[in-house]
């Protein structure tokens, strides 16, 4: 992808370069990142352009430490808590993941910027190594978004998971192959909704993982007037994949809770 969105005065180019002043239109019924705009993580060829033989780079800045303003007390032993104060929510991440600044929004856009998804309150695991350092998506990422309205959490989770997987792992060779799981009921710490898991096989291409997983938990907000989403992805193959990625994303989901 390429550019990202803005919160207040700061910006980020997905997987996280700071930029400024970009505002993208929000298509109907697509979730936004905490009410802000989204950004784009990959540069795909536009209509009429020939695909290149090399992936399209973007500038990135991968954190190597937690932003202290983003932390809260964890409920999972040995993990760290991420506070998403704008939404009154928290979730936990392993010690090897890093919580990003509260103002950082990251996401993906379609080739014509007419479809976009994004998250705030994000945490990231690692970055591509060597010559792939400037390519996305990252080996692991999680964050919170909002639908902006009350809706069916099963259908919302399915749509968002499929869209995130498609936009995130599309490259110049084409769209990824997706295996979309059925919505499963979700309940944790007084929150209820549905979760959907998508297994992803990206087109064979330098700097993209062979396989990955996307998990979305869509749940009724504590106030009952919105649907929030925990969106997470991770490599499931290759040297850069997080340890036990699917179990890790599941524990993140189980740690979802309202901030005290």
- CA-nearest of 220, 118, 108, 209 to 166 is 108
pLDDT one-digit tens code per residue, 169-211: 998 899 999 999 999 999 999 999 999 999 999 999 888 999 9
Residues 6+ apart with CB under 8 A from 247: none
H helical segments located in 86-218: 153-169
**CATH superfamily ID and name for 6-45+54-258:** Mog1/PsbP, alpha/beta/alpha sandwich (3.40.1000.10)
The pTM assigned to this predicted structure is 0.78
Count of CB atoms situated within 10 Å of the CB of 73 = 10
**Rounded distance, CA 90 to CA 252, Å?**
10
Both tokens of residue 182? 């059925």
Confidence bin at 28 (pLDDT 50/70/90)? very low
Query: Is 54 a residue whose pLDDT tops 80?
Result: no
Confidence bin at 52 (pLDDT 50/70/90)? very low
**Rounded distance, CA 157 to CA 160, Å?**
5
- Give the pLDDT score at 145: 97
Query: Is 92 a residue whose pLDDT tops 50?
Result: yes
């Amino acid at each position: 992808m390429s550019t990202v969105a803005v919160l207040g005065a700061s910006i980020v180019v997905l997987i996280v370069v700071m930029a400024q002043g970009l505002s993208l239109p929000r298509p109907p019924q697509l979730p936004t990142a905490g009410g802000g705009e989204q950004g784009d993580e990959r540069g795909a060829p536009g209509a009429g352009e020939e695909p290149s033989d090399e992936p399209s780079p973007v500038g990135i800045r991968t954190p190597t430490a937690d932003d202290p303003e983003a932390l809260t007390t964890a409920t999972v032993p040995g993990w760290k808590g991420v506070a998403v104060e704008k939404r009154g929510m928290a979730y936990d991440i392993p010690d090897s993941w890093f919580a990003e600044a509260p103002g950082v929004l990251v996401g993906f856009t379609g080739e014509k910027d007419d479809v976009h998804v994004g998250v705030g309150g994000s945490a990231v695991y690692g970055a591509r190594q060597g010559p792939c350092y400037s390519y996305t998506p990252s080996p692991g990422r999680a964050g919170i978004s909002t639908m902006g309205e009350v809706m069916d959490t099963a259908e919302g989770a399915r749509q968002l998971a499929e869209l995130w997987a498609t936009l995130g792992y599309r490259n110049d060779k084409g769209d990824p192959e997706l295996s979309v799981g059925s919505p499963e009921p979700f309940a944790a710490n007084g929150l209820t909704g549905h979760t959907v898991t998508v297994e992803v096989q990206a087109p064979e291409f330098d700097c993209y993982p062979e396989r990955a997983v996307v998990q979305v938990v869509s749940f009724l907000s504590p106030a009952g007037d919105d649907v929030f989403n925990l969106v997470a992805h991770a490599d499931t193959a290759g040297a850069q994949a997080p340890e036990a990625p699917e179990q890790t994303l599941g524990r993140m989901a189980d740690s979802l809770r309202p901030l005290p």
